[in-house]
Copies of this chain bind each other. A is one copy, B any other.
Amino acid sequence: MSTDRRMAVLAAIVEDYVRTSEPVGSRSLLDRHQLGVSAATVRNDMAALEDAGLITAPHTSAGRIPTDAGYRTFVDELAQLKPLSRAERAAIAQFLDGADELDEVLDRTVRLLATLTKQVAVVQYPSLTRSTVRHVELVPMSPTRLMVVVIMGTGRVEQRVILTDTDYTTPTGLDELARSRTVINAAALERRLGDALTALRSLDDDQHTSSSLTSGVLAALEDAARDESETKVALAGTANLARTPSDFPLTLEPVLDALEQHVVLLRLLGTHAGTEEEGAGEVAVRIGRENPVTGLQSTSIVTSGYGVGDELVGHVGVLGPTRMNYPAAISQVRTVATYLSRIMEG
């Protein structure tokens, strides 16, 4: 038995099924792919593939469709990424250029990815703890409430309101505020948020410099860092899910539901499958039941990290039915992640 040909058959089945979304039989397979063998041989191979759990027949007298495991070996061993055409790359570059604002960059990115892949695209906002603090600002909102605004090197802006005993709207209050601002910024500036927190903590422990204010700010920043798990995400292309209703067993209610729970999405983007470690530029694929989230078990997720330098600050990815064009999605996600990293550098 030729394992090579058997794998070629698997690849052919995956490709045809992805394109037509109909079970593929031995004959129709021969029409499109010139394997130099007969239908009967293909049938034997199919039987073997079915025994191996890589394909399955929806019912007795239909063709075969890939199982999750089938897609998995297809992705791992067979898929050859077709690099994007020069035109595509140019389009990407042009589309992403000319956005300064972080919000705008991510918004364009996520839309672009959704359009390219015709799937749901997800982009994670740059991690707070891993990016550097550019500026901390303290703004009194009312006699008892103070807003702490922290601006990161990535352009991300986060704010928290804290309650204070002192009224900082008064002239003396404003003075004190200015002093604290200087002290705090001196401690935090150009440090990664994690390190900035450490610095502030020691500042707060020191009797000399401590004040209710530094404690409050520290608490606010810690809160922001802790909420990291609730990091924002941008989403686009939800409508693509509805294009192929047949790909979703009953309704897409559970899928839409999961998409709205950003915590869940972040877990998907962050955690990666199996042994494969991802550097920047590496793409991870999670297929169907491999997926820990109930309600997304009939979907696949293709993700990659992005970052500045060698620091990984976030993830991008697409989500779609398991019947997905993996080679295309993988190279598209990789390319977009690369461009995004490049833009964040600049």
Known: A239-B254, A254-B239, A260-B239. A151 touches B147 (CB 8 A): yes
Contact for A256 among B157, B239, B260, CB less than 8 A: B239
CA of A239 to CA of B139, assembled, Å: 39
* Contacting pair B238 A242 (CB below 8 A): no
* Contacting pair A252 B242 (CB below 8 A): yes
Which residues 208-263 of A sit at the B interface, judged by CB distance below 8 A? Answer: 236-239, 241-243, 245, 251-254, 256-257, 259-260
A84 within 8 A of B: no
Interface residues on A, range: 20 to 34
A25 within 8 A of B: no
* Contacting pair A137 B149 (CB below 8 A): yes
Residue of B nearest to A241 (CB): B256
Q: Which residues of B contact A145 (CB under 8 A)?
A: 100
Min CB distance A241 to B, Å, is 7
Instruction: Scan A115-158; emit 1 where CB is below 8 A from any B CB, else 0.
Output: 00000000000000000001101010100010101010101010
Copies assembled: 2
A22 within 8 A of B: no
Q: Which residues of B contact A139 (CB under 8 A)?
A: 134-135, 137, 151
A343 within 8 A of B: no
Q: Which residues of B contact A241 (CB under 8 A)?
A: 256
A164 within 8 A of B: no
* Contacting pair A256 B242 (CB below 8 A): yes
CA of A236 to CA of B101, assembled, Å: 25
Q: Which residues of B contact A257 (CB under 8 A)?
A: 239
Min CB distance A119 to B, Å, is 13
A161 within 8 A of B: yes
A291 within 8 A of B: no
A272 within 8 A of B: no
CA of A252 to CA of B157, assembled, Å: 35
Min CB distance A246 to B, Å, is 11
A159 within 8 A of B: yes
Q: Which residues of B contact A256 (CB under 8 A)?
A: 238-239, 241-242
Q: Which residues of B contact A259 (CB under 8 A)?
A: 238
Please report A residues at the B interface, Cβ cutoff 8 Å.
Answer: 100-101, 134-135, 137, 139, 141, 145, 147, 149, 151, 153, 155, 157, 159-161, 236-239, 241-243, 245, 251-254, 256-257, 259-260
Other contacts beyond A137-B149, A242-B253: 16, CB < 8 A: A100-B145, A101-B159, A134-B139, A134-B141, A135-B139, A137-B137, A149-B151, A149-B157, A236-B260, A238-B259, A238-B260, A239-B253, A241-B256, A242-B251, A242-B252, A242-B256
| Contact sample, A vs B, 21 pairs, CB 8 Å cutoff | A100-B161, A101-B159, A101-B161, A134-B139, A135-B139, A137-B139, A137-B149, A141-B153, A147-B151, A147-B155, A149-B149, A149-B151, A149-B157, A157-B157, A236-B260, A237-B260, A238-B238, A239-B254, A239-B257, A242-B251, A242-B253
